[in-house]
Copies of this chain bind each other. A is one copy, B any other.
Amino acid sequence: MPAVISVKIIELTILEEFFRIKAKDKYSSARSAEISTLHGMIKTPVFMPVGTKATVKAIEHSILYGMGCAVILGNLYHLYLQPGIEILEEAGGLHKFMNWEKSILTDSGGFQVFSLNGLRKIYDNGVQFKSVIDGSTHFFTPEDVIEFQSRIGSDILMVLDECIPYTDDATYTKNAALRTLDWAKLSLKKRDKLNMERLPGNKIKVFGIVQGGFIKEIRKFCAESVSAMDFDGIAAGGLSVGENRATTMEMLGYTSEYIDSKKPFYFMGLGDPVGVIDAIYCGVDMFDCVMPTRISRMGSAFTFEGKINIKNNKYSRDFGPLDDACSCQTCTRYTKAYIKHLYKSREILAAMLLSVHNLHFMLELVKKCREAIEKGSFCSFRKEFKSVYQENHCKNL
């Protein structure tokens, strides 16, 4: 039966190919790798622009393609409420609905649901929450969350997890962590069940999430437990939630020691340039954050010297680009004086041009890291970047 044999070979090939490490840095945990999905190849380290509601805010897709964006993030919680799973399914999935040709990673909505203080209740078998749109009540089980993400055709699915705020309450942290680990097992079972019905090459890929708050023993336990499970990738969750940066990096460094390094490692919700470059140093492959697009709508721009804010009066007569070193559509076409004028005039084009620049900046930064890793010069690149980039470059704003 040659047909059956050939199918098996394809399946093996696809499984082997999901994540391939290409190069490892000698002096740190940094590495470059490739992730293959049905929608193309993602080179890591990668920054994933956030398209919560099926749009990366203020950017048309073709501009994202043009800057080499291979994967964006969607959010199940938001998409479930609007337009709803049924409409996404009718459209032929999230990709077709929004006409996005590259990969999509969907977050389970755990973070969003747990942010709804007073509007949600946590149970051992899932979470009940109220819609912020119409106040209606909904319930997500860990299995629902995998099924919904599968139905809308996400390339990489995240498990439901319980995010907790920055706290030193060990009992609370432990209980939440254990619940997240229970949910992780249920999620994997659901993945396997769904994959039984799927063709080889079309299996869903699910990432587990390491929680554990800021208590090292619990983090370690979670990291080891999630690593021991058969996930397609591992994420660090519940970090960068209000704690100071030193604490974030300490917890990340500590956590990463217990992570299965053969799998992609994703730091959820981190997106400032220095944070990203430091996390790459610790072995992180994937990032997402609303920051580059959010600061754009507030008039800020990354530059290789640090963040600037276009509201500063000195830019009124500055006829140079946001960043001399930048080759984005905004910097090659428009000046600080023009963007400042647009921002001051409350014109939508200000947010559009700044979003293009800031996302291009982040994509270029991780690309430069990747290239440096492959050339064996990551640590010197990181040192140089951090010596030039000042967190508060433009202090008066």
- Give bound CA distance, A316 to B235, whole Å: 34
**Chain A residues within 8 Å of chain B by Cβ, number:** 38
Identify which of B99, B347, B353 contacts A333 (C-beta below 8 A): B99
Known A53-B347, A98-B338, A348-B348; contact A353-B60, beta-carbon cutoff 8 A = yes
Q: Which of A82-90, A121-129, A147-155 contacts B (4 or more CB under 8 A)?
A: A82-90
Write the nearest CB–CB distance from A1 to chain B, whole angstroms.
Answer: 40
Contacts of A58 in B (CB 8 A): 348-349, 352
Contacts of A62 in B (CB 8 A): 329, 333
Write the nearest CB–CB distance from A133 to chain B, whole angstroms.
Answer: 9
- Chain B's closest residue to A333 (CB) is B99
Known A99-B333, A338-B54, A344-B82; contact A59-B319, beta-carbon cutoff 8 A = no
- Give bound CA distance, A352 to B59, whole Å: 9
**Per-position 1/0 for A320-354, Cβ under 8 A of B:** 00000000010001110110111011011101110
Copies in the complex: 2
- Give bound CA distance, A333 to B62, whole Å: 10
A347→B87 contact, CB < 8 A: no
Contacts of A342 in B (CB 8 A): 53-55
> Which residues, 70 to 97 on A, are CB-close (under 8 Å) to B?
78, 82-83, 87, 90-91, 97
B90→A317 contact, CB < 8 A: yes
Contacts of A98 in B (CB 8 A): 338
3 A-B pairs with the lowest CB-CB distances in the bound complex, closest first: A58-B348, A83-B341, A53-B345
Contacts A/B (CB < 8 Å), 30 sampled: A54-B341, A54-B342, A55-B342, A55-B347, A57-B347, A57-B348, A58-B348, A58-B352, A59-B349, A60-B329, A62-B329, A78-B345, A82-B341, A82-B345, A83-B316, A83-B337, A83-B344, A87-B317, A87-B341, A90-B317, A91-B319, A97-B335, A97-B337, A97-B341, A99-B333, A99-B334, A99-B335, A99-B338, A348-B352, A352-B352
Contacts A99-B334, A352-B352 aside, 16 further interface pairs with beta carbons under 8 A come to A53-B345, A54-B338, A57-B347, A57-B349, A58-B349, A58-B352, A60-B329, A60-B349, A78-B345, A83-B337, A83-B341, A87-B316, A90-B319, A91-B335, A97-B335, A98-B338
